[in-house]
Structure 1
């Protein structure tokens, strides 16, 4: 009830200021139904397929004036049927999605602070993870410089996290008070992103430092730095990524890399993209160094297959991956059918329990996604994926490769603008 009251007061305040600023209120309802039968990992004969619907519901409130902009959005994430039809209390799944303000010192330089999405380029290193219903957000401060004349952008961001296990301000001055124990998050985070648009191309540079709290109260720092870019040459679009990781994870040194290259040709019938991406893995378990690259804050669902066998959560662990892929799209029934084919190899040498070196080929994945724009701006997705696994995949991940491993899903997105001033 309090949330609704606060939301109503905010709406009244925004509308009351509509004369001197741009106010936009929009909403989103996005249910997605999934049939999982070998999604993310190989199934066994004892496994049963699962069918469920997960829904994301959001409301966005955007206020923009000459001097600053503010965004507040709330979201509710739930599985259909997990709450009783009649209830007074339930597990809290309604929370703030974004809440940030951006102050413009001048048309080129601004400061953005608060809970926000941090997403760049192809989201390989930093992404909003919007495929996941909950998304990913950072509590951070950003310094933003963007100059249209020179077509350059520079964003510098930082964050320092603290939990509230004892809700008393003086506790933060006590011994050990700065220990951070929120799972899956960082203690401290700094990054810089530079982008330069060029004739028929673009180049981005990223440098990122992440501090993770160790169990012994120390903080280990891992650095990720590299480049992403593309260039159109003679009608062919060439793209590439190169990133390297250094620093420490716990007491172990990190030396890992990601490198990818692709080319897109537009034919009379359809675009064709051919590419390969190599992500290093740990070669020798006795080596004190970590050589497995980890795209910690990227939108990993967008890469290496939609069935999320790699780098989504703990999947694939330290094996790494070499991904040869073909991507294309075709007009169909008033929409677009996207086709992706991946051939996955390990990103490092792997051995079975007897110490015999495994064949590098892990499997082939085929992804089909049909997208259609319906009336009123409503979007419909329909997807099907299948994994054809090898003995190597079974040795590394368990399961039974002789079974069918597939995933089907459908999603409809309603995202109307409810109110907007001129």
Structure 2
């Protein structure tokens, strides 16, 4: 207290007459604060993505008596990132709208479904090891975040739909030059309850929460381990997600689900690898799913995938691939594989007939495809693909007779052009030749469906970014 009562000059003198050990502490703390501030970096970025779509059978064949749809949707994002000693922060606010959705003089949301403004990301990454350690790092990442691994087949940000995907989760991360080992955890609640942990997994507006049109998970835990080597990498995933138990009831003569205590648990485990052999790029994956699904059914399902891409020259690449997912059921056990929280738009056709929210009777899929890419210049490229889709389980008509396993053929072509580093254009056209098996009651269940389905789009992406040090 005697020291604190002195005037400023006395304090100044006292500081410089301290014992060496106290001088070291004071100047060390001062230097540390200065270093932390001086090394901080702020990044601000924005995105304006408009997409005009012509839909004449997107997601499912259109009945012959219905007209095609035409609209423009827009995603607007504002992101900020902050990085300093042992800390990274990320925040993304986004708004998703359809042009004309709001009246030109209305400045407030009139319905829940029209409310497109949301917090897409809000996370902090805390460095648990000092940044001077160059061999490895351990960090804890908390908050709302995108979770992406490997080729995004099972875990991706689903960036093609304008709202995209994110999770409220905690990740413990170990990263080194060769290894990436992550453990993730999530536990969802609808609100701050005074008691109980029952969870209603149905999102507002009754939107699908996963890639196969299922409900939102109650919780999840996972372990991901990936290792890089000279010609590629290999990874292992063990993912466990839980779903709220329920029983069916009737309220006001309307069937409904009543959510109960407890959960059903599903397990997914397997491997992914990608290898580069001179001009050939080969990737493969194998996953097995067991436990119980979101409906409480016993589960035994699998996914197998393999593809090769050959670089003919600097501009042209081409290659085949095959995907197989089990489907159907055997006794009281479901064999329908669910691709978790991935990005199906990248794999099973751009028209999103399979594993993209539009169900197909849990039939499973055989997808034989051929894809090609041509880079006309550094700013212009074209991609094309042809898919032959077959059901991996039996298909029946209304009379109980077996039908062909052929679900249809899809052809896709896209073009990308970068006007500048922050302005890009993308256009695409897809055609789906559907079959009677695809529209049968046990698959898409569409009567009087057209056999030729079309989809076209034009997308403009503007993405400026600024760094401040």
State the TM-score, normalizing by the size of structure 2. 0.81
Matches for 1:157-172 after TM superposition, within 5 Å: 157-164=184-191, 171-172=193-194
Are the structure 2 counterparts of residues 27 and 18 from structure 1 closer, same or farther at C-alpha, using a change threshold of 3 Å? farther
Matches within 5 A, 1:233-382: 233=277, 235-249=279-293, 250-268=295-313, 270-284=316-330, 287-332=331-376, 335-382=380-427
Give the alignment partner of residue 112 of structure 1, picking from 131, 141, 144: 141
Query: Aligned in 2, Cα 1:272/1:88: closer, same or farther, shift over 3 Å?
Result: closer
Q: How does 1:188-199 map to 2 (within 5 A)?
A: 188-199=219-230
Q: 1:141–1:157: 8 Å Cα contact kept in structure 2?
A: yes
Question: Aligned to 2:199, what secondary structure does the other structure show?
Answer: coil
User: Residue 439 of structure 2: SS of its match in structure 1?
Assistant: helix
How big is each residue's C-alpha offset from its partner over 1:266-302, in whole Å with a ceiling of 9 and x where there is no partner? 1136211211000111145xx2101000112111111
| In structure 1, C-alpha distance between the alignment counterparts of 2:227 and 2:103, rounded to whole Å | 52
Deviation at 1:359?
A: 1.1
Gaps of 5+ in 1: 1-16
Distance in structure 2 (CA, Å) of the matches to 1:235 and 1:375: 30
Return the alpha-carbon distance in structure 1 between the equivalents of residues 78 and 383 of structure 2: 30
Q: CA deviation at 1:338?
A: 0.4
Deviations 1:364-391 (A, max 9, x none): 0001110111124211100000001122
- Looking at structure 1, the residues matched to 375 and 280 of structure 2 have their Cα atoms a distance apart, in angstroms, of 21
Deviation, structure 1 residue 20: 4.0
Q: Is the 8 A contact 1:373 1:380 kept in 2?
A: yes
Q: What runs of 5+ residues in structure 2 fail to find an aligned partner? A: 1-35, 132-136, 203-214, 247-259
CA RMSD of aligned residues (A): 1.6
Query: Does residue 1:28 correspond to 2:73, yes or no?
Result: no
What's the secondary structure of 1:45's corresponding residue? coil
Q: What is the aligned partner in structure 1 of residue 253 from structure 2?
A: none
- 2:296 and 2:220 map into 1 onto residues whose CA distance is 19
Q: Does 1:407 align with 2:461?
A: no
For the 8 Å contact 2:245–2:296, the answer to whether it is kept is no
- Residues 228/399 of structure 1: CA separation in 2 closer, same or farther (3 Å cut): farther
Q: Tell me the SS of whatever aligns to 1:391.
A: coil
Q: Is the 8 A contact 1:42 1:399 kept in 2?
A: no
Q: In structure 2, do the counterparts of structure 1 residues 94 and 234 end up closer, same or farther at CA, with 3 Å as the change threshold?
A: closer
Show the counterpart of 1:221.
265
Seen in structure 2, the aligned counterparts of structure 1 residues 409 and 18 have a Cα distance that, compared at 3 Å, is: farther
In the aligned structure 1, how far is the partner of 2:54 from the partner of 2:358?
A: 21
2:250 alignment partner in structure 1: none
Contact in 2 for aligned 1:256/1:290 (Cα 8 Å): yes
Contact (CA 8 Å) 1:126, 1:297: kept in 2 or not?
Answer: yes
Q: Does structure 2 conserve the Cα–Cα contact (< 8 Å) formed by 1:179 and 1:213?
A: yes
Pairing 1:133–2:133 present: no
- Write the distance in 1 (CA, Å) between the matches of 2:386 and 2:395: 24
1:240 and 1:400 mapped to 2: Cα distance?
39
The offset of 1:234, in angstroms, is: 5.0
Is the CA contact (8 Å cut-off) linking 1:240 and 1:261 kept in structure 2?
yes
Alpha-carbon distance between aligned partners in 2 of 1:399 and 1:71, rounded to the nearest angstrom: 48
Using structure 1 for the length normalisation, give the TM-score. 0.90
Greater Rg over alpha carbons, structure: 2
- Assess if the C-alpha contact under 8 Å between 1:44 and 1:403 holds in 2: no
Distance (whole Å) between structure 2 residues aligned to residue 375 and residue 200 of structure 1: 33
Q: Which SS does the other structure have where 1:255 is aligned? A: strand
Question: Which residues of 2 match residues 199-218 of structure 1 at below 5 A?
Answer: 199-215=230-246, 216-218=260-262
Matches within 5 A, 1:390-405: 390-395=435-440, 396-397=443-444, 398-400=446-448, 402-405=450-453
**3-state SS of 2:394 partner:** coil
- State which drifts further: 129-138 or 86-95: 86-95
1:80 aligns with 2:99: yes
